[in-house]
Structure 1
């Protein structure tokens, strides 16, 4: 791609975003404006950090071609508005830190024997132990720069005797994991059990471990999970990217009859169509024709994919062949 084209695209993006952001409410519905901007932010969040920084530089260069007026200032705010200069690796780490703190607060004073309905057979103690084990295992894997699979059972847990002490143990493990991950170049190649064979795999995976298990805890306590739409959309893509590498799921998906499902995020405008069957598993970021379509806010779609919501809940509009969706959900259950 030529420099001229890159500059033109960056300037066009900045101008459109600024027009949407500064448009009067009587000309553009504010909810529509927010939806468009959130969709744009989600797409930009998926760019590698180097590309995000380059885009920020191109937008500032475009702003510099305008005179010293309000429009120039509006354009200069675009990179900050989308966090283009932020380190995505650090952003994932910050998000994990915040969610782990929320999780610890949610479970610290709860009876450890409280059932967790979204994880049949588990109690809150089991949930906290699992979450803490994941952090301890990932810290070990990244610190040792693993080149092949390491099983969690191979990592000493130092688990407290009393389940009531599990939340603080989990929090300490999370702190250790984040200290280790933050010190390592995210582009460093290493083993992972997912699609991304770099250190960068681990903070992103920890984020969605935290998102889903915080939701488990909240639902167990009778609360509604609150997941930001952009985070949920990223979580959907992280799930789809890694699914072929989860052998215990990929085998079940490979045994399904040919089918496809369209997922539509009503709040961000994002869409994904998954296909499976004899030709293998694939997905696109489009709303293609499919035997069944599911529409809901992005957070509810994420919880559906992880089996934390059922498709007959009020959150979802399902059209088409429900049996195709049900078969997919059974095959992908963790």
Structure 2
């Protein structure tokens, strides 16, 4: 489905639902509106979190194109009334819980001194400590609705002295951050280190933080990470949305010096396409299907959606056989080196 078709369908659905509360004579019909909304919400809750979030964004775009007034206000309320915003918030929290249950089980049964090849110089104990620190930091930020940055060093970590105790410590930190996230309304404004200064930034960010670090553990223990295509597509877009806000990668990206060059990611399993255009001291990106073969891009890389996500995070190398690269390989290598986490 093209982006233009997505937007047209979302516009049509948004206007249809907001009009459902009015009868043909212009009078209010609240019972009809409830029936339409409840049925539509049940259907939409079957979508993956990434698709619900995408639809919520399209509805907000529709609302922003309306002039100020009751209709615009009704359109802005639509994602919440359909459970799209809260649904995605809850789904990300559930995903973090699942990832961390698997993470804790894996490190509990492994030697803490096991090297983690995808995090050079780290052991499983180092990785577990990092993940636990992130959880406690985010818990503090969300619980206090932090209006400005708080450093990790300023948050009590209660780190055990014995790495053998890290799994239980990790589990406690996961419970605490999930309590804070689930108790907070996703639309509450607060500081974030990414593109969205609201509570809803954190469960999505933490979901992909834990997904990638679970992959680190699995690769360290000889397993092949499996990330569902829909989840990976959302992860690619979350990565691209927030990348300009991460100073440690925004600065080297600005020095690539390839204004106008394009890098295209193509998911072989879903047909998803993301095109990045360098320039202006950074980059712009779009998700579309206008050029599914990659024709016209400076460089195109194709693989499964989950593999592309792990490529962006530097967990796989572009030279691996799982990736098909066409065009200027040097541009791809330069981009990956500049943006490596």
When normalised by structure 1's length, the TM-score is 0.77
Alpha carbons 1:39, 1:269 under 8 Å: kept: no
Residue of structure 2 equivalent to 1:232: 232
Does the 8 Å CA contact 1:49/1:88 hold for their aligned counterparts? no
CA distance in 2, matches of 1:40, 1:169: 31
Classify the secondary structure of the residue corresponding to 1:114.
coil
| Alpha-carbon shift at residue 168 of structure 1 (Å) | 1.2
Does the 8 A contact of 1:39 with 1:268 survive in 2? no
Distance verdict in 2 for CA 1:6–1:308, change over 3 Å? same
1:293 aligns with one of 289, 300, 303: 300
Question: Is residue 266–residue 274 contact of structure 2 (8 Å, CA) maintained in 1?
Answer: yes
Contact kept? 1:229, 1:298, Cα under 8 Å: yes
Contact conserved, 2:49 with 2:92, CA < 8 A, in 1?
A: no
Q: Which residue of 2 aligns with 1:277?
A: 279
Preserved CA contact (<8 Å) 1:191 1:197: yes
Cα distance in 1, alignment partners of residues 318 and 47 from structure 2: 24
Closer, same or farther in 2 for the Cα pair 1:201/1:250, shift >3 Å? same
Q: What does 1:239-258 correspond to in 2, within 5 Å?
A: 239-258=239-258
Q: Could you tell me which residue of structure 1 aligns to residue 200 of structure 2?
A: 200
Give the equivalent residue in structure 2 for 1:34: none
For the pair 1:318 / 2:325, whether they are aligned, the reply is: yes
Gaps of 5+ in 2: 1-6, 18-45, 61-82
Q: How does 1:206-217 map to 2 (within 5 A)?
A: 206-217=206-217
Return the offset for 1:150.
0.9
CA distance in 2, matches of 1:230, 1:167: 29
Q: Distance in 1 between matches of 2:167 and 2:16?
A: 46
Partner of 2:68: none
Counterpart for residue 117 of structure 1: 117
SS for the counterpart of 2:103 is helix
Q: Which residue of 1 aligns with 2:3?
A: none
* Residues 127-138 of structure 1 mapped to structure 2, 5 A cutoff: 127-138=127-138
Farther-moved stretch of structure 1 (293-302 vs 255-264)? 255-264
Q: Offset at 1:185?
A: 0.5
Unaligned runs of 5+ in 1: 12-37, 53-82
CA offsets, 1:267-314, max 9 Å, x none?
111110112234531101134631100000000000000000001111
Partners of 1:84 and 1:280 lie apart in 2 by 31
Distance (Å, rounded) in 2 between the aligned partners of 1:2 and 1:320: 34
Note closer, same or farther for the CA distance 1:6–1:168 as it changes in structure 2 (3 Å cut): same
Aligned residues: 280
> Is the CA contact (8 Å cut-off) linking 1:49 and 1:87 kept in structure 2?
no
Instruction: Please identify, of 238-247 and 281-290, the stretch whose mean Cα deviation from structure 2 is larger.
Output: 281-290
1:50-96 alpha-carbon deviations (Å, 9 max, x no partner):
959xxxxxxxxxxxxxxxxxxxxxxxxxxxxxx96971110110111
Does 1:309 find its partner at 2:316? yes
**1:171–1:3 CA distance, 2 compared to 1 (3 A):** closer
8 Å contact from structure 2 (residues 11, 59) kept in 1 = no
Q: Are 2:262 and 2:277, in contact at CA under 8 Å, matched by a contact in 1?
A: yes
CA displacement at 1:171 relative to structure 2: 1.2
Instruction: Please tell me the root mean square deviation across aligned C-alpha atoms, in Å.
Output: 3.0
